[in-house]
Structure 1
């Protein structure tokens, strides 16, 4: 007889673990099944080289919902944030640099080096984004209403509309532009310094196959002021011990409440009977039963690979197949003998320039041209680099005196025209190293080893279709009541008892845990109902 549970979670990504923890806390017997040997999905820490603990995929945090930290008592299970200050460093070819962060006086002085007008405008820009965030952030923790649903959905839509109306015309128009518009015109209107605009534009395009001039990119700008680190809003930080500590602390909370987690347990099929999910079968043939199945995998994996097509309406399958999984991101993890010594801010040891994200993107057109290369099937000849060195603030991650550099690189498409990633990934990594070496001439000589992860490798390692770290493009047409598809944004699916609990569902990608928490709430609501 197959072993039976109240709920089974497919995938031990951080969202899946959050769902498991909340369901277990509510008294359900819960089984989490993870195909890899390590839990966490894209929120992991791996010892890629002896003594080096690497956040292989996700690398910084701010968005993990404070309610989850509180409800699951994650700090008791080892979760600890390290705030970054300064949080941003951009060197420029002319030898100047821009430092920014939570220190408002520092940020003002630094921006004033490029434009006194921009230095005065920047707090007003942040205030505008904060107004938008104040409206949008509470929606992260809500189940989206269905515009085509019943009276209850329409009532909830009305409440959102009323709250939006209270923003007023000016703030309301700003919110609409941030939600739907392009980042470049927003930044052009606020600022005159191309150096500042390029630095801020990186927030808009990170993880997206889009240039700052494209509609939809402004949406991610408000993440700059959203979230928190140790209770301070808008501050991003490192997780002590690496990003995997988030997943391990959530897993510990889930286990404390009785959840069971199995690794090396790849689900091959979701079992159904009469249109209802009844269990899962693993690749080795083992079966487990449960009346509730929550999938942390993306919609393509869940519905095209794990679910029998006959259990899904044709129009639903067609909508799932229209989801855009385009990706143009490569992750390069590097171990170093010493920190990068930037020509713009020289120094042999760790300095403030190493605390936050080190941007290589000298101007807005540089980003646009990098995108243009990828648009035509090539990796960017001059890539945009987002580099972080968590060892600047957490020495436990590497042997004494050594460092880990995380390179999050754009743009490089999943499909290369006329060649393959097997042939190109080291060439691309070499080019990225050459670019960084132009700004920090000791960099290439300091490299001990590296691991290069292009989009197809991300797909293979982490099970994310197309290597898309958001489990589907974060555009207006695929957000809120339209995520993953219209009519099924409330974590339920056409198969009764089958739910989505990962980034494929609202509110999408990023290490938030909100999708997992929201899904658990709906599972428990159905249980009571």
Structure 2
């Protein structure tokens, strides 16, 4: 098929390098022995911190252990011809100030806003040939009320702001913590509150734009450079890092975009950390029930509740977040109970996105990339069993069986898939327990208590060592706030040295 064509591969190889990579090659990748600041990890927060520090005149270098930048905000071509937002897959929370300050539009960031934004097809038996019902919600309140009236006249007649949470969509948010719901709806895109969208070229393109901004002002970014240890002087202050190959790089400060657990339990010499601090970091709640599955398909999914148009062109519902197996809270509760018993859910909750419906650059003509955010899956299976390939494939097959019930023909359209269980997300992206927020967004791990009480200022017990990632305030999501805030704290401390 088209995805394996020689010409396509040649075109992909010839695609232009991002500006930050060209800047790196132009400088011949020369690593200096000393910088003002070292950033560990080129996740989006680390890149934001580097961009702000460099703009403020702080000579900054970023070290990334993987071959690509972006952390969880990354685009990877796992299957030839198909570009996946392999971990994070939607944008909304990026702070407008960062978008403006770092001139991300100038540095290549392009967005595709979604409207409508939510599609929930029903799995209904015994409809006597009728098309199953579905719920399609967007920015048109009158149309939303018509949609909601299929299920509840009371909800449809409520005030304009209330129909966003009718009984059918309330089930999607149970048992989701209330703050996490707020965290997900507090963003905006291009002045539209609560809007979510796709990044053209995948989520790695936002990381490239931030990196382009950083290198345009002189920052250095190195991939495949693993930091093995934070160097601490005999006086107990940071003096740089040691790379895995033994190279020592001196610096006045070190900012870690890694999780608090990796930063303080693996990279920092333990003799310089209070015993109580180490104990509490080791006890942070990192549980996560999510398995991400990236799928390449050779045709557009065709839902029973909203059949495809002639020519198989994307329809409005294809650009939405599509929610499956969430018709009522009983389904969600049972899926959760399965995971508590060490099993993957028999009818997992599925958030289904097709970013190529708005961004055709992600897949060959007529083909699509599908992102499946699924739950619940335990980190360890019953009996202490790990996620071997057999178990991973069995779970993915179950997910695909569920999708097939809503969209017959889906399984036959699959070209390839990439299954990321919680241990995979931990191993590949450095997410403890597979948690996309580094540690849970619960009340005891938020605000002044993130990651720990008395340690929410981005500073650590070791002078000169700072956190700048999702494990710091205000938490996870492709927001950039932790990176920006940490950079300003660091800059203030450097001025007072």
When normalised by structure 2's length, the TM-score is: 0.89
Pick from 59, 62, 72 the counterpart of residue 29 of structure 1: 59
Pick from 76, 87, 110 the counterpart of residue 80 of structure 1: 110
Could you tell me how far 1:197 is from its partner in structure 2? 1.8
Higher deviation after alignment, 488-497 or 362-371: 362-371
Could you tell me how far 1:16 is from its partner in structure 2? 0.2
Aligned-partner Cα distance in 2 for 1:223–1:283:
36
Higher deviation after alignment, 225-234 or 450-459: 225-234
Aligned position for 1:178: none
Report matched runs for 1:262-277 at 5 Å: 262-273=222-233, 274-277=235-238
The answer to whether the aligner puts 1:393 opposite 2:358 as a matched pair is yes
The answer to whether the aligner puts 1:239 opposite 2:199 as a matched pair is yes
Aligned position for 2:319: 355
Aligned position for 2:485: 518
Pick from 365, 371, 375 the counterpart of residue 410 of structure 1: 375
The answer to whether the aligner puts 1:197 opposite 2:163 as a matched pair is no
Pick from 478, 493, 497 the counterpart of residue 445 of structure 2: 478
**Which whole-Å deviations, capped at 9, do the CAs of 1:131-159 have from their partners, x for residues lacking one?**
xxxxxxxxxxxxxxxxxxxxxxxxxxxxx
Aligned position for 1:489: 456
User: Which sections of structure 1, spanning at least 5 residues, go unmatched?
Assistant: 128-186, 205-210
Pick from 237, 250, 256 the counterpart of residue 295 of structure 1: 256
Pick from 87, 96, 100 the counterpart of residue 57 of structure 1: 87
Aligned-partner Cα distance in 2 for 1:124–1:378:
38
Aligned position for 2:140: 103
**Which whole-Å deviations, capped at 9, do the CAs of 1:67-91 have from their partners, x for residues lacking one?**
0010000000111211101111001
Aligned position for 2:387: 421
Aligned position for 1:120: 157
Aligned-partner Cα distance in 2 for 1:241–1:71:
22
User: Which sections of structure 2, spanning at least 5 residues, go unmatched?
Assistant: 1-30, 125-131
The answer to whether the aligner puts 1:433 opposite 2:395 as a matched pair is no
Aligned-partner Cα distance in 1 for 2:157–2:211:
45
The answer to whether the aligner puts 1:307 opposite 2:260 as a matched pair is no
Alignment CA distance shift 1:32-1:224 (3 Å) = closer
Aligned position for 2:332: 367
Give 3-state SS (helix, strand or coil) of 1:9's partner: strand
Pick from 240, 264, 279 the counterpart of residue 279 of structure 1: 240
Pick from 26, 30, 46 the counterpart of residue 76 of structure 2: 46
Could you tell me how far 1:376 is from its partner in structure 2? 1.8
Higher deviation after alignment, 115-124 or 454-463: 115-124
Could you tell me how far 1:220 is from its partner in structure 2? 2.2
Give 3-state SS (helix, strand or coil) of 1:424's partner: helix
Aligned position for 1:176: none
Aligned position for 1:143: none
Pick from 348, 366, 369 the counterpart of residue 383 of structure 1: 348
CA RMSD, 1 decimal: 1.5
Give 3-state SS (helix, strand or coil) of 1:408's partner: strand
Aligned position for 1:318: 279
Moved over 4 A (4+): none
Could you tell me how far 1:224 is from its partner in structure 2? 5.0
Could you tell me how far 1:122 is from its partner in structure 2? 6.0
Aligned position for 1:5: 35
Confirm or deny: 8 A CA contact 2:155 2:163 kept in the other structure: no
Confirm or deny: 8 A CA contact 1:2 1:289 kept in the other structure: no
Aligned-partner Cα distance in 1 for 2:143–2:189:
19
Report matched runs for 1:438-453 at 5 Å: 438-453=405-420
Give 3-state SS (helix, strand or coil) of 1:82's partner: strand
Could you tell me how far 1:338 is from its partner in structure 2? 0.9
Could you tell me how far 1:395 is from its partner in structure 2? 0.7
Aligned-partner Cα distance in 2 for 1:196–1:3:
55
Aligned-partner Cα distance in 2 for 1:319–1:12:
26
Alignment CA distance shift 1:126-1:344 (3 Å) = closer
Higher deviation after alignment, 486-495 or 455-464: 455-464
Aligned-partner Cα distance in 2 for 1:26–1:485:
29
Confirm or deny: 8 A CA contact 1:53 1:398 kept in the other structure: yes
The answer to whether the aligner puts 1:336 opposite 2:366 as a matched pair is no
Aligned residues: 452
The answer to whether the aligner puts 1:228 opposite 2:188 as a matched pair is yes
